[in-house]
Structure 1
Amino acid sequence: MAMNEWCTVIWRYIEYTMSQLLSRLSKLSSRNKTVLKHKNSRLLSTSPYLIVGVFAEDARARGGGFLGDILLFDPAKEELLTVRDKTVSEELICSKVMGASHGWGFFSDLRNHNSVRITDFFNPLASKSDSKIIPLPPLTSMIYGQTEVVWNVAMSSSSPYRQDNEEGDCVVAIKFLGNQLSMCRPGRDLAWTNKLIPFVGFENSNLMYSKRDQRFSLPAPGGNYLCSWDLHFENEPKFTELVFRNLPELPQSEWELMDSCFREDHWVESPSGQSFLVKWYSHVPPIRCKEPMVMVFREDQDTNEGTKTMSYTEDIGDLCIFLSKSEPFCVVASSFPGLKPNSIYLMGRCFAVYDITTKTSRHFERPKGVPESLTNFLPYWLPPFSI
């Protein structure tokens, strides 16, 4: 074989070898990126937290505002987490917390309650010196509504920024005390779309967003219907009948006791899309020695159009539910060591964790390190944060 033919053969062999090597390196790099991404998501994911409060200091922050410490309660470790030296901007100093959803705090101006903004101020992984603050359109009340007293808030996504949101425009919704529901898209809408809630009754249910159904849902008084709104604003609400089965066999005295209690109905969705209706009964006024009573109903798979069949259950598996004045949420307990599976974490008329199987609750003690001047905790559970 001539020398030039040998050179051609050797060159082709080198090309083939390099091609195979680069292919393997590419696959290995892709695999490592996936593993690294998975590890990072786990390393940079927090436990759910309860907002204990903000302890402000006298020190001024660079660029204006004051320095303060955010106090959060970690239910997995049952201890206080302090995020130190957080800049409290001038906008937030003159505001009060009115709600929380997906970890974002809703603030209203103390001088004008119709001036509302949302912020990642309570996110322990966010910037300490430059919290994201998004102003919302001024609130407007309907003829038979009011905007001064908020019941709870909900969001369709954890990212209100349009450019960061892979799920489309985020919609925020505010349920006020009474019959008014207001919705808008941050950074897009110049005004709120107001909806009249088509029923009256005592305030005993929280608004939530179903990622599976892509609708805001609100249990109607009595808990026999679920009222929901889509994200298009112009459509009328949808009513779905809740049909209950497998009710527990309880003595008549216990049913009468529950009838005498204050009841909250919470519609909750698990990370996998499983829906639950949680009925939380509490004594009025709250009595620490009296245990809260909770009933959980799971949505069955064989639900017909227009109805949802709800079965009583005492086993939700490796899940725990968080109920408070924020949007209710559910997490996988084993993903956060220390959380109790098959339990409900309560904040409002009591501060406790409720075991669904044993029907017993354990009240949390005041965390060590909370200043004595901080007497009341903010009643908002925050879902896990991650970056």
Structure 2
Amino acid sequence: MSRRFIKLSPWSHALIHKKRFRLFSSSFTTPYLLLGTTLKNNLPDGSDVRDVLLFDPTKEEMLTVPNITFPEELAGSRQIGSARGWGIFSNDHDRSLCISDLYSSLGPKSTLTMIHLPSLVAVHSNQTNAVWNVAMSSSPSDQDCVVAIKLLDRQLSLCRPHSDMRWTNVGEMLAENNLQKLENSTLMYSKRERRFYLPGPGGNSLYSWDLHLKKNKVPSFHELLFRDLPELDDSEWKLLGWCCRTEHLVELASSGERFLVKWYAQRFFSSSHEGSNYTTRRFMVFREKKLTEGRYMHYTEDIGDVCIFISMSEAFCVEASSCPGLKPNSIYFIGHGFGIYNIADTRIHHFQAPEGAPTSFKDPYWLPPSRI
């Protein structure tokens, strides 16, 4: 997924509801897309007050959570990643990092949590600000939580915020094991196996690390065996071969079932002066079946009651029946377009930008169900 500003389609009276909500306090079971914030006031202590803008995919409406106080540490920082509803923020002035549950604790009775992290140290370059994505082994409030940051230049760094305030870098392991083609691979954590995973080039393999990196930094290699590929015309396979492709491994928390998602984006050239861009061509979803002979990935057009959410945050699954309004057997995506992909019939429903939403924003994040 290209790290560029995402542009939303212009909102339409006919296609979208334009109600503007204010959320004061309630529990919700629907994932939301973080659209950004609007500055309302700077306070003398260095903090500021903002409105938080969220997008509800079930109603296609923007929700405004008003007058949220951002403490000084966050007011002067930018968000560089998100996992499990927690954000990682970086201060460009002193390069400090912290984790916060700011966007999952927006209610007036909620208590904001911030956990400081050591500054990142680049192994291969000075691109410590080029974060590709973030994954966590559990909620950062857990004492044994491990935070992992994947940089664009194939560096992978991990630390335990509550016990070891130092980064363990495995970027040198990526280079020594000839894993240079993993720059665009998306990191995830498997609760079932207690390991961090990166899809290999082309999504034909997996590399994984356990939580004891000080003992063994070398990744484990897992070859994937694909079965039941879709029947497509040769011309379609050829076109997909020219597409930009990213792979996302995602796990359903309630059952441990895993899916490998291949995202194909087709390049096109804009008639304006904006150059080229990408639009989603299709997704392919494979259900993992782990047997004694190996890991089999079976192509499927039916994942049942499951929805998959893909953005620049760690991808996650949600059972549609637990979130009223979600469409089962679908992929909710933002990056190469913004919409819902129906896995059964490959149709895409494109979301339109609601009134008052930013016309463009960088690195949008889906937030999993939580409390606000």
TM-score after normalising by structure 2: 0.84
- Structure 2 match to 1:298: 287
Query: Which residue type is aligned with residue 40 of structure 2?
Result: E
Change (3 A) 1:116 1:127: farther
SS at match of 1:292: strand
C-alpha separation in 1, matches of 2:105 and 2:58: 16
Q: CA deviation at 1:317?
A: 0.3
Query: 1:100–1:106: 8 Å Cα contact kept in structure 2?
Result: yes
- Structure 1 match to 2:329: 342
SS at match of 1:187: coil
Once the two structures are superposed, residues 281-325 of structure 1 have per-residue CA deviations (whole angstroms, 9 ceiling, x without a partner) of 012258899653100000125x226x3101000000000000111
C-alpha separation in 1, matches of 2:351 and 2:42: 32
Residues 1:138 and 2:119 aligned together: yes
Query: Which residue type is aligned with residue 113 of structure 2?
Result: K
Change (3 A) 1:220 1:71: same
Query: Which residue type is aligned with residue 313 of structure 2?
Result: S
Once the two structures are superposed, residues 332-353 of structure 1 have per-residue CA deviations (whole angstroms, 9 ceiling, x without a partner) of 0011111110000011121111
2:169 paired residue among 194, 197, 203:
194
C-alpha separation in 2, matches of 1:313 and 1:131: 41
The structure with higher relative contact order (CA 8 Å, sep 6+) is 2
C-alpha separation in 2, matches of 1:299 and 1:81: 36
Query: Which residue type is aligned with residue 210 of structure 1?
Result: S
Cα RMSD (Å): 2.3
Query: Which residue type is aligned with residue 73 of structure 1?
Result: F
Residues 1:108 and 2:90 aligned together: yes
Q: CA deviation at 1:144?
A: 6.0
Change (3 A) 1:290 1:185: closer
Once the two structures are superposed, residues 133-154 of structure 1 have per-residue CA deviations (whole angstroms, 9 ceiling, x without a partner) of 1110121121467422110000
The 5 A counterparts of 1:242-321 are 242-271=224-253, 272-285=255-268, 291-301=280-290, 303-304=291-292, 307-321=294-308
Q: CA deviation at 1:205?
A: 2.2
Change (3 A) 1:254 1:185: same
Q: Which runs of 5+ in 2 are unaligned?
A: 1-25, 271-276
1:362 paired residue among 329, 335, 349:
349
Query: Which residue type is aligned with residue 137 of structure 1?
Result: P
C-alpha separation in 1, matches of 2:185 and 2:269: 18
Query: 1:172–1:184: 8 Å Cα contact kept in structure 2?
Result: yes
Q: CA deviation at 1:279?
A: 0.1
- Structure 1 match to 2:205: 225
C-alpha separation in 2, matches of 1:244 and 1:46: 34
C-alpha separation in 2, matches of 1:330 and 1:224: 22
C-alpha separation in 1, matches of 2:66 and 2:103: 12
Residues 1:154 and 2:141 aligned together: no
Q: CA deviation at 1:127?
A: 5.2
Residues 1:380 and 2:365 aligned together: yes
Computing the radius of gyration from Cα coordinates, the structure with the larger value is 1
- Structure 1 match to 2:18: none
Query: 2:33–2:55: 8 Å Cα contact kept in structure 1?
Result: yes
Change (3 A) 1:289 1:360: farther
More helix by share: 1
Query: 2:65–2:106: 8 Å Cα contact kept in structure 1?
Result: no
Once the two structures are superposed, residues 208-267 of structure 1 have per-residue CA deviations (whole angstroms, 9 ceiling, x without a partner) of 000001100010112111001111113221111100011111111101111111101000
Query: 2:330–2:341: 8 Å Cα contact kept in structure 1?
Result: yes
C-alpha separation in 2, matches of 1:68 and 1:238: 44
C-alpha separation in 1, matches of 2:344 and 2:148: 34
Change (3 A) 1:95 1:285: farther
Once the two structures are superposed, residues 106-154 of structure 1 have per-residue CA deviations (whole angstroms, 9 ceiling, x without a partner) of 11112144x2111111115455786321110121121467422110000
- Structure 1 match to 2:221: 239
